[in-house]
Amino acid sequence: MKQTQTFPKVWFATEKLINSRTRFVNFSDRGSLRFELKELQFTGRKQLLKITNVQSTRLISPRIPWMSIALSIAVLLVFSGFMLLRVPSEFVLTIISIFIPFLFIVFPFMIFVQKAVLWIEIAFVDEENVLHRAYFLDGSRLILLSG
């Protein structure tokens, strides 16, 4: 008798995406992950992945996407600058004094979230004997996967 276990809401990421410093999203696809004896199968919206020759598994946290974070902050500062041009001058200093502490809260929070979420890295060998890595995250408690 086969024993199977299914996780209905899973995020999937490729090795290239997980290691990217310029990513804005953390996953390549989302779908379900089914474990059977000697086989793991991810069925996503965009792709199907069958893994039969697992070499190793480990928990990892993705690289921090410094370029994306820096670009996001730059866009936020430029947008805020344009908004400040439209505000009467007596309120500019008040708005800046509120905005700067906000940045000092949001920036560390963005980094914390990137490092706190752990992904499962599965290293496996395909039919051509090439080593690949696939990354999975339980999305059942994540807001983006609920829809």
- Kindly report the CATH number that applies to the domain delimited by 5-62+118-145: 2.30.29
Domain with CATH 2.30.29 in the chain: 5-62+118-145
Q: pLDDT tens for residues 37-51? A: 888 999 999 989 899
pTM for the whole structure = 0.70
DSSP secondary structure letter of residue 85: H
Give me the helix-helix angle, 89-116 and 66-85, nearest 10°.
160
Q: Which residues contact 50 (CB under 8 A, 6 or more apart)?
A: 39, 40, 41
What average pLDDT does this structure show over 132-139?
89
